[in-house]
Structure 1
Amino acid sequence: MAFTIATALTLMLVATVHCYPGGAPVSANPEICSDIMMPIHDASAENSPAPYKLIVSGCYKTGQPAKVTVKATSGYYEGLFMLARSGTDKKTAYGTFSPDNSKQFKTVDCYKQTKSAITQSSKKDYTDEVFWWTAPEDFNDTIHFQATVVKEKDEFWVDVVSSDITYSETCAKESSGAARLRLPAGLLVALALVAGFLRLQ
């Protein structure tokens, strides 16, 4: 058979992401949770380094959300499917997710675990999105994030991984992306006028 099961499932998800902006169809195809992270060797998959990074802090602690940013180093992405793994285990998802941008992304349930993965919920070109991951109770394993990132139907990368993050009770709390400083438009105009005036002095 020309395609492996993992390849077929990957192509199915990619087609779904491109045609249906509602995200990965986990409820109808739970196999995606197990197999979509597997590397594939079909020509339809990109073999070049992914133009995306999963940026994480170096630690986490119980009850405190850890920040993970999915960033395009060039271009954009239309689709995303991401979960947390521990070691080489590709059959379990750990913890729960919440998106900074709840209008564009949603959580889905893998392995009957609530909110254990994240995917897009609308069609848009994304470049830099923030998500929050909370560890399970009584959990202290080293984890990393794995993702399938889709630019177009025929241009996608699988097994995009972050660096490891480790458990630490002294892990500092990170600020929310939603709390980024936003100044009123009128104040920005006033500051620009002041800056221009100062340059004339």
Structure 2
Amino acid sequence: MHFLQVLFVLLSLITIVIAWPDGAPCIHAVYESMNPLEAVEHQGGLQLTVPPYHIEVRQKCYWINQPVEIILRGNTSMDRFRGFAMQPISYKGPNRGKRVGQFLRLDDNGSWQQQCFRFKDSVTHSHEEKKKQIKLWWKNELNDDDYVQFVATVVKAQKEFWVKSIKSIPVAPCRIERNGIQGYKPEPITPPPPANQFKLDTFRLFDAVDDELRQNMLETIPNDADPIRKPQRIQDFFKICLAIIK
């Protein structure tokens, strides 16, 4: 097989082997887009309907450096989800459109984690089991000038997810507006910007190169049912890559 064809195979398989069951990765494109379509196995799953989930904010306003309780949950007890990412975005103020404040862990719920521990302004799931709800806390310790809106991407299944379509009512600084925002109307749901085109093109090329080779390689890599820890699976994957190149 030509070297470039092998390269396409390897690049595509990386996404298959290293998927996101343990949360969205701390990668710039994913961090900024909050879009599962950055992983090619989610192609075809984007939903533009009204999402069956919502974000509750327990306080009408926030004080600087004081925790605010947030809950992501389904609209009914049957509406569960497997994955999510959430960020606090300035709705109005000097930092409009930017992430503000940081998420806190005030209980022992292990179902969520910081997406990037350095920043603490984006959280994601830590496992792919179905969830009824996720409770989080957030605070802004730098200023109380921004109205904050919590924005989430929620994954119900590999081929069913909503990108930045779940949004809270914006939360005002208490020194400006203690009774909360009145008459808020959510914006219409629109498609997100396109995902990384190079990655998608690579996937399509790989898909047309050699189906038999792809199947043989995938059968060689341990699947989720195998009692092999993920780090070992990744090591095995790269051993296979080296063997093919040789």
Q: Give TM-score scaled by structure 1 length.
A: 0.65
1:64: Cα distance to partner?
0.7
Report the alpha carbon displacement of residue 83 of structure 1 after superposing the two structures with TM: 0.5
The separation in 2 between residues aligned to 1:48 and 1:131, in whole angstroms, is: 25
Identity over aligned pairs, percent: 22
Residue 29 of structure 2 aligns to which amino acid in structure 1? E
Asked if residue 107 in structure 1 is aligned to residue 108 in structure 2, the reply is no
Give matches, 1:138-177, under 5 Å.
Answer: 138-159=143-164, 160-169=166-175
Stretches of 4+ moved more than 3 A in 1?
99-102, 169-172
1:87 counterpart SS class: strand
Report whether the alignment pairs 1:85 with 2:92. Answer: no
Q: Equivalent of 1:31, from 29, 32, 40?
A: 29
Q: Which amino acid aligns with 2:74?
A: A
* 3-state SS, counterpart of residue 31 of structure 2: helix
Q: Is the 8 A contact 1:98 1:106 kept in 2?
A: no
**Residue matched to 2:102:** 96
Change over 3 Å in CA distance of 1:101–1:153 after alignment to 2: farther
Distance across 2 between alignment mates of 1:147 and 1:51: 12
Distance 1:67 1:43 in 2: 34
Q: Distance in 1 between matches of 2:33 and 2:134?
A: 24
Partner of 2:121: 116
Which residue matches 2:46? Answer: 45
| Secondary structure at the counterpart of residue 32 of structure 2 | helix
SS of the residue corresponding to residue 116 of structure 2 reads: strand
Deviation at 1:105, TM superposition (A): 1.0
More strand by share: 1
Partner of 2:193: none
- Cα distance in 1 between the residues matched to 2:152 and 2:72: 9
Counterpart of 2:131 in 1: which secondary structure? Answer: coil
Q: How far, CA to CA, are the matches of 1:23 and 1:65 in structure 2?
A: 24
State the alpha-carbon separation in 1 of the partners of residues 116 and 124 from structure 2: 11
2:111 alignment partner AA: Q
Between Structure 1 and Structure 2, the one with more helix by share is 2
Unmatched 5+ stretches in structure 2: 1-14, 36-42, 180-246
Match of 1:73 among 75, 87, 95: 75
Instruction: Measure, in 2, the Cα distance between the counterparts of 1:97 and 1:87.
Output: 17
Q: Tell me if the contact between 2:23 and 2:126 (Cα under 8 Å) persists in the aligned partners.
A: yes
**Aligned CA distance change for structure 1 residues 145 and 168 (closer, same or farther; 3 Å):** same
Does structure 1 retain, via aligned residues, the 8 Å contact 2:172–2:178?
no
Q: Distance in 1 between matches of 2:134 and 2:74?
A: 9
Cα distance in 2, alignment partners of residues 134 and 143 from structure 1: 10
Contact in 2 for aligned 1:36/1:158 (Cα 8 Å): yes
SS at match of 1:34: helix
> Which of 140, 156, 164 is the equivalent residue of 1:135?
140
Find the residue that maps to 2:123 and give its secondary structure: strand
CA contact (8 A) 1:84 1:93 kept: yes
SS in 2 for 1:81: strand
Name the count of aligned residue pairs. Answer: 149
Q: Following the alignment from structure 2 to structure 1, what is the Cα–Cα distance between the partners of residues 67 and 142?
A: 12
Residues in 2 aligned to 1:161 and 1:16: alpha-carbon distance in whole angstroms = 26
